[in-house]
């Protein structure tokens, strides 16, 4: 008994040490960037974990002397519309693949599975040519359509797994009462799928805030830039050395994402587990 108790304590101690090291390695860069954004000057090299003096100059500089607010509005607009459009496309496709049997269903599922194996930037040239032909270059809707289409393979597979786990008896009962497919989808399936819907919606909202490659490819005008493109240009080039201003902008980018996570964290975790476990 004593040996087992000692072994259990040692195991727990090792686990706690590993978790503490992991937490510190994740939190230290975040704290360093936050303190860097409050540090006077333009360099992060002199930033300490606890600076001698704190200043909000970089935050006021962002809104008064740069187009940061315009970039923020552009990114927020793209994120909201991508969340709406992506969620509709993903959930509709997942419901069709889960509940209907039609020619090409298996091939469609395999195609979505294969598409997840390739990184998105492999299709940049094709996407650029397609948007050029559709006259959607330097247009926020071109970017939204790219994001929405790219979210379908992963999202549809995840939501399909959740739908597969819901009992078909509920739909059969609704059909007996005279409900059609659309009524069943809206009034039966959607209320039961709230966790996975929240996960898909929040995940698609977060995506545009982090993306740089496609935004830089599609958007050209200064008034169409997103946060990722605008902030990147602050620290690139020989004359651009506003690293602390960049840190302040990066901190503000995390605000809406952090708020959403704290509001929906229970649904996010439940939705991710349910989509992964049900199949």
Domain range summary for the chain, segments of one domain joined by +: 60-277
Segment of 75-84, 104-113, 207-216 carrying the highest mean pLDDT: 75-84
What is the C-alpha to C-alpha distance for residues 159 and 156, in angstroms, rounded to an integer? 5
pLDDT of residue 3: 67
Above 50 in pLDDT, residue 278? no
Structure tokens at 77: 């607009």
- Would you give the distance in Å from CA 103 to the centre of its chain? 33
Task: Tell me yes or no: is domain 60-277 CATH 1.10.3720.10.
Answer: yes
* Average pLDDT of the residues in 64-86: 92
Q: Flag whether pLDDT at 279 surpasses 50.
A: no
pLDDT band at 47 (very low <50, low <70, confident <90, very high): low
pLDDT average, residue stretch 75-104 = 90
pLDDT band for position 238 (cuts 50, 70, 90) = low
pLDDT score recorded for residue 73: 94
Answer yes or no: is pLDDT of 261 > 60.
yes
The position carrying tokens 């005279």 is 178
pTM for the whole structure: 0.82
- Digit-coded pLDDT (tens) for 177-193: 788 878 888 888 888 88
Q: How confident is the model at residue 42 (pLDDT cuts 50, 70, 90)?
A: low
Q: Which of 12-26, 27-41, 109-123, 162-176 has the highest mean pLDDT?
A: 12-26
For all residues of the chain together, what is the average pLDDT?
Answer: 83
Three-state secondary structure of 86-99: HHHHHHHHHHHHHH
pLDDT on residue 39? 79
Angle subtended by helix axes 140-164 and 243-277, to nearest 10: 30
Q: Give residue 2's pLDDT.
A: 61
pLDDT number for residue 270: 67
For 145-182, the DSSP string reads HHHHHHHHHHHHHHHHHHHHTS-THHHHHHHHTT--HH
Q: What is the average pLDDT across 234-240?
A: 69
Read off the pLDDT of each residue in 243-268 and give the average, rounded to a whole number.
84
- Two structure tokens written together for 53: 């003096």
C-alpha separations of 204 from 104, 154, 200, 226, 238 in Å: 27, 11, 6, 16, 35
pLDDT of residue 141: 93
Whether the pLDDT of residue 267 is over 90: the answer is no
Q: Which two tokens stand for residue 261?
A: 């996570």
Written as six digits, the tokens of 260 are 């959403």
Q: How far apart are alpha carbons 109 and 226 in whole angstroms?
A: 33
Query: Sorting pLDDT into bands at 50, 70 and 90, what band is 16?
Result: very high
Q: List the beta strands (DSSP E) in the chain.
A: none
Q: How many CA atoms lie within 13 A of 173 on its CB side?
A: 7
- Residue 75: pLDDT band by 50, 70, 90 thresholds? very high
Six token digits for residue 60: 């006021």
Q: In this structure, what DSSP letter does residue 45 have?
A: T
Spell out the residues 6+ positions from residue 121 whose beta carbon is closer than 8 angstroms to its own: 213, 214
3-state DSSP assignment of residue 57: helix
């Amino acid at each position: 008994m004593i040996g087992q108790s000692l072994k259990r304590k040692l195991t727990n101690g090792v686990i706690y040490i590993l978790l503490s090291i992991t937490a510190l390695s994740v939190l230290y860069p975040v704290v360093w960037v936050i303190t860097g954004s409050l540090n006077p000057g333009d360099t992060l090299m002199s930033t300490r974990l606890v600076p001698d003096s704190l200043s909000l100059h970089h935050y006021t500089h962002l809104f008064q002397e740069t187009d940061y607010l315009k970039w923020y509005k552009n990114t927020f607009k793209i994120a909201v519309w991508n969340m709406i459009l992506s969620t509709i496309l993903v959930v509709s496709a997942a419901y069709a693949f889960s509940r209907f049997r039609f020619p090409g269903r298996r091939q469609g599922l395999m195609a979505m599975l294969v598409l997840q194996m390739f990184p998105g930037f492999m299709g940049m040239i094709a996407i650029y040519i397609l948007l050029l032909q559709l006259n959607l270059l330097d247009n926020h809707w071109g970017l939204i359509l790219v994001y929405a289409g790219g979210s379908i393979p992963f999202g549809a597979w995840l939501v399909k797994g959740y739908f597969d786990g819901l009992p078909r008896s509920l739909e059969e009962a609704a059909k007996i009462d005279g409900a059609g497919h659309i009524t069943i989808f809206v009034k039966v399936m959607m209320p039961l799928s709230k966790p996975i819907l929240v996960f898909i919606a929040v995940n698609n909202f977060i995506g545009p805030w982090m993306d740089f490659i496609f935004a830089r490819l599609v958007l050209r005008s200064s008034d169409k830039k997103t946060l990722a493109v605008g902030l990147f240009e602050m620290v690139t080039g020989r004359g651009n050395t506003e690293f602390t201003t960049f840190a302040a902008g990066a901190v503000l980018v995390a605000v809406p994402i952090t708020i959403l996570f704290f509001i929906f964290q229970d649904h996010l975790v439940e939705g991710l587990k349910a989509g992964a476990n049900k199949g």
